[in-house]
Structure 1
Amino acid sequence: MSEMNNINKKLEELSPEKKDQILESFSTFKSYLSAQLAKGERLGLSDDMLAKGAKFVADHLAKNEEPRNSEEKVLQELWKVADENEKKALASVLVKMVQAD
């Protein structure tokens, strides 16, 4: 579970300005997520662990951040109505989406 602690620490370390910069556009958000996933892959994290990390980040964003664009708003709305299994699936799909770019 130390990977989730590391993710939480990184989220807490982001300045409000950096968060705004990342969340300003969906393209920038995807690029940031892609870079973070690449780091995880280099560390040898499995796709399952990467999806768990994406779910953790999505939970954090849903609870603590307002959507900055229409794509983030759709993701937030989907997240609100999804059960745990659906959230895991959404996180996996998000990981695949940014890996495919």
Structure 2
Amino acid sequence: MRGDEVTADSPSYASRSVSVHLVRGVIGFGSLVAAFALLGVLGWPSLLLLPVGVVALRGCPACWVLGLVQTVSRGRLERRCEEGGACRLERAVE
């Protein structure tokens, strides 16, 4: 299996490129921080930024970080599993 393939038991949170992923992070984290920072100024309407942040981060900040790692390592690492079920990451053979 190559690093950019997705199977049923290996979900991918990666983006097309690192820059796209970082932009999603800025939008996501910025929206989450702004929602609470503007709460005193705008009141409850500032909480409308929360769904924007959650969608940009694909559900949670940990999912975004996992996607960043997958995006950076795409094509460089691949998971190899043995018959016993033990898996490990190795450099991709080109």
TM (normalized to structure 1)? Answer: 0.29
The structure with the largest strand share of the pair is 2
* Structure of greater Rg: 2
The structure with the largest helix share of the pair is 1
TM (normalized to structure 2)? Answer: 0.31
